[in-house]
A = this chain, B = another copy of it.
Amino acid sequence: MKKTILVFGLLILALILLFQFSKYTITSGDVSTEIVVSVIAIVFFFVGIYINKKSLNKLPSETVEIDHDKIKDLEITSREYEVLQCISEGLSNKEIGERLFLSESTIKTHVSNLLLKLNAKRRTQALQIAKSLKII
């Protein structure tokens, strides 16, 4: 946090200096206007990129597109997919049953089928596989 303040402080200082410098050079006529304008443009262009990168790092922005075709390829049914989503939320079979108004037996059936279709031995492995396949 202190580092961020320091960086931004130096940045603003540098920009003010650049600003004053450009004013001076343009009015004095030592350097051509094109070059000064170009320098300002380039500097602020990269400042924009830098600030943008910083702000993007703070938001997570998890843009993971779900591969619906893959789900169909694996012959995962809609119910099974619902159960898979519940598993990824860390719910137990009992809790999944309560959420979907089904018995724990049914959830076990769905989970077993899911493990077969995802070729997993455990629900945690199913999660890892499903993520690598961009299913969840």
Residue ranges of A at the interface with B (Cβ–Cβ < 8 Å): 15, 19, 22-23, 26-27, 33-34, 37, 40-42, 44-53, 56-57, 60, 62-65, 87-92, 120-129, 134
Contact = CB atoms under 8 A, between A and B. Distances in A.
A121 B91 CA distance: 9
Protomer copies: 2
Contact of A90 (B42, B88, B129): B129
B62 A64 contact: yes
Contact of A48 (B44, B63, B127): B44
B125 A90 contact: yes
A50 B49 CA distance: 8
17 contacts: A19-B37, A23-B37, A37-B40, A40-B40, A44-B44, A46-B48, A47-B48, A49-B49, A88-B124, A89-B128, A90-B120, A90-B121, A90-B125, A90-B126, A90-B128, A92-B122, A124-B127
